[in-house]
């Protein structure tokens, strides 16, 4: 049995019933085979056995009282996966599907993504099975305060700096920050995604979506293509999807579809982003409300967004939202590039279809790293007690995304996987972490 298979067996045995975590580990470990052959010292030092085991897992009760006076209890968690190259960094997800398998998969991916940014941040992720949908602001506040009342003792500006993810935006970060400050009396950069008046960074809101499009643009330019006049389908209608849409439109592309977990809209004239922003960012409504304002657009209940003809597809909603059949439909419709704004949105079978059909493909670890990179820039600004302008942050973000593309492509080429950014991103992200772990001894 190979080293990778041995480690994989332990992962499955030690983390039963956590398929998303197994999927994420399998994909990374498989692609490291050639690196492990070239570097036997990684095996001697047990790098793989250590890198698949979180450094620390914290699971805690989150009690709060709803608007009817009823006591509610949720399960919160923070998984601090790897601190070889810097303090832990990674988002918090609030969604009913949250359980340790999801948070572990996200935390594991985060190690390599953070390394790829070139910035000094380790990997972590956290969250809770709380569903913010349909809750009042007061309920969300009470929940966030209770969540932070336990979490605060495990985080800190030089220990672990959480950020947003699904279900966690500016409102939730605000409530959590307020509670952290109240308990600790520290005014420090312990969370990112803060408001601009109280330590936030310009361009953080836009960063993941913009970064995704910067990297995709670099990837398609290398093959003589561009966003100008391209038809683009984007899934989701949250933070990542909205700002990916904005950047595609700025580059002259036409985004014709968006969705949420109920269904998708198709607007052949191109999505009107002001309407989407109002529905999603202000009213916290459903994407189907779009057709009330734009009657020539259509709304379809359920899945099916990937059957729409497009040149570029950007999945920006959630894990495993694009399967083999969807990938075949995209290929049949002439789609030439897919880049992941969400984490692990394409199933392994879908990725194989893209690669077999020479569709350019950028995995989430590389393509959506702009969010965490800009969070790290927010940390730098907090440390300096200084703020960069929007243009300064945006220019740094663009540089980082172009470098991620270059480093992942170079690593793929070095190991004989021409154009395979999945392998390239895994290898480039892994090497820096593995070498740091080697240098720091068996810890
Ligand atoms: P938001 O909560 O802002 O938006 C999530 C969007 O995805 C919503 O439109 C939501 O619809 C939709 N969605 C969620 N679950 C499902 C589902 N099961 N089926 C269909 N649609 C679904 O989250 P973000 O935009 O921040 O995050 C989206 C993805 O990007 C996630 O995978 C996240 O991990 C990843 N990401 C986010 C970063 C960030 O900076 N925010 C950074 C890097 C990655 P609905 O409202 O119906 O639930």
Query: What is 207-367's CATH topology?
Result: Rossmann fold (3.40.50)
Write out the two tokens for 121.
């941040």
Tokens 């927010």 correspond to 378
Q: Comparing 54-191 with 207-367, is the CATH topology the same?
A: yes
Alpha-carbon distances of 431 from 3, 152, 404, 428, 441, rounded to whole Å: 17, 32, 14, 6, 16
pLDDT in tens, 240-269: 999 999 999 999 999 999 999 999 999 999
Ligand 1 centroid distance, CA of 185 (Å): 32
Per residue in 83-139, pLDDT (tens digit) is: 999 999 999 999 999 999 999 999 999 999 999 999 999 999 999 999 999 999 999
Q: Whose CA is nearest to atom 13 of ligand 1?
A: 317
Mean pLDDT of 16-33: 98
Catalytic residues: 125
Residue list, ligand 1 pocket, CB within 6 Å: 164-167, 208, 236-241, 260-262, 316-318, 321, 341-343, 368, 371
The answer to whether 359 and 338 are in contact (CB under 8 A) is yes
Q: Whole-model pTM? A: 0.97
Assign a CATH topology to domain 54-191.
Answer: Rossmann fold (3.40.50)
Map out the domains of the chain as residue ranges. 54-191, 207-367
pLDDT in tens, 389-421: 999 999 999 999 999 999 999 999 999 999 999
Neighbours of 216 (CB within 10 A): 30
Locate 81 and state its tokens: 């996966």
How far is the C-alpha of 285 from the C-alpha of 290, rounded, in Å? Answer: 10
Q: Which atom of ligand 1 approaches the CA of 371 most closely?
A: 40
Q: At what angle do helices 204-221 and 239-250 cross, to 10 degrees?
A: 50
Atom of ligand 1 nearest to the CA of 318: 32
Q: Report the sign of the C-alpha dihedral through residues 158, 200, 121, 97, in that order.
A: positive
| Cα–Cα distance list, 29 to 44, 101, 337, 354 (Å) | 16, 17, 25, 20
The span from the CA of 179 to the CA of 173, in Å, is 10
| Residues facing 80 on adjacent strands | 56, 124
Q: Is the model's pLDDT at 146 over the cut of 90?
A: yes
Element holding 432 (H helix, E strand): helix 421-439
């Amino acid at each position: 049995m190979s080293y990778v298979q041995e480690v994989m067996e332990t992962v499955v045995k030690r983390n039963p019933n956590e398929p998303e975590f197994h999927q994420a580990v399998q994909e990374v470990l498989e692609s490291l085979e050639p690196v492990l052959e070239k570097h036997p010292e990684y095996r001697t030092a047990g790098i793989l056995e250590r890198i698949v085991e979180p450094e620390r897992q914290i699971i805690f009760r989150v009690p709060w009282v709803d608007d009817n006076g009823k006591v509610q209890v949720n399960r919160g968690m923070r998984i601090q996966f790897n601190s070889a190259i810097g303090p832990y960094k990674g988002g918090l997800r609030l969604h009913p599907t949250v359980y340790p398998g999801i948070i572990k998969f996200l935390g594991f991916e985060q190690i390599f993504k953070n390394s790829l940014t070139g910035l000094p941040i380790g990997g972590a992720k956290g969250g809770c099975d709380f569903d913010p949908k349909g809750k009042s602001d007061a309920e969300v506040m009470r929940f966030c305060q209770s969540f932070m009342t336990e979490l605060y003792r495990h985080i800190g500006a030089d220990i672990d700096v959480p950020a947003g993810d699904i279900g966690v935006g500016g409102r939730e970060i605000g409530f959590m920050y307020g509670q952290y400050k109240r308990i600790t009396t520290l005014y420090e950069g312990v969370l990112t995604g803060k408001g601009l008046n109280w330590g936030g960074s310009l361009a953080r809101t836009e960063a993941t979506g913009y970064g995704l499009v910067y990297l995709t643009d670099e990837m398609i330019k290398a093959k003589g293509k561009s966003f100008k006049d391209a038809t683009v389908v984007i899934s989701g209608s949250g933070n990542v999807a909205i700002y990916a849409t904005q950047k595609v439109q700025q580059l002259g592309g036409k985004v014709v579809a968006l969705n949420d977990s109920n269904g998708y809209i198709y607007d052949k004239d191109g999505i009107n982003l002001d309407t989407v922003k109002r529905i999603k960012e202000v009213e916290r409504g459903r994407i189907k409300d779009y057709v009330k304002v734009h009657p020539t657009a259509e709304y379809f209940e359920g899945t099916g967004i990937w059957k729409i003809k497009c040149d570029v597809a950007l999945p920006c909603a959630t894990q495993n939202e694009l399967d083999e059949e969807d990938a075949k439909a995209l290929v049949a419709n002439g789609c030439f590039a897919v880049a992941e704004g969400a984490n692990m949105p394409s199933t392994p079978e879908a990725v194989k279809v893209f690669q077999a059909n020479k569709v350019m493909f950028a995995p989430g670890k590389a393509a959506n790293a702009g969010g965490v990179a800009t969070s790290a820039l927010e940390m730098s600004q907090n440390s300096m007690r200084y703020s960069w302008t929007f243009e300064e942050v945006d220019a740094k973000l663009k540089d980082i995304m172009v470098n991620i593309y270059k480093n992942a492509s170079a690593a793929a080429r070095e190991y004989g996987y021409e154009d395979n950014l999945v392998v390239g991103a895994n290898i480039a992200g892994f090497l820096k972490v593995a070498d740091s772990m080697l240098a720091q001894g068996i810890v």
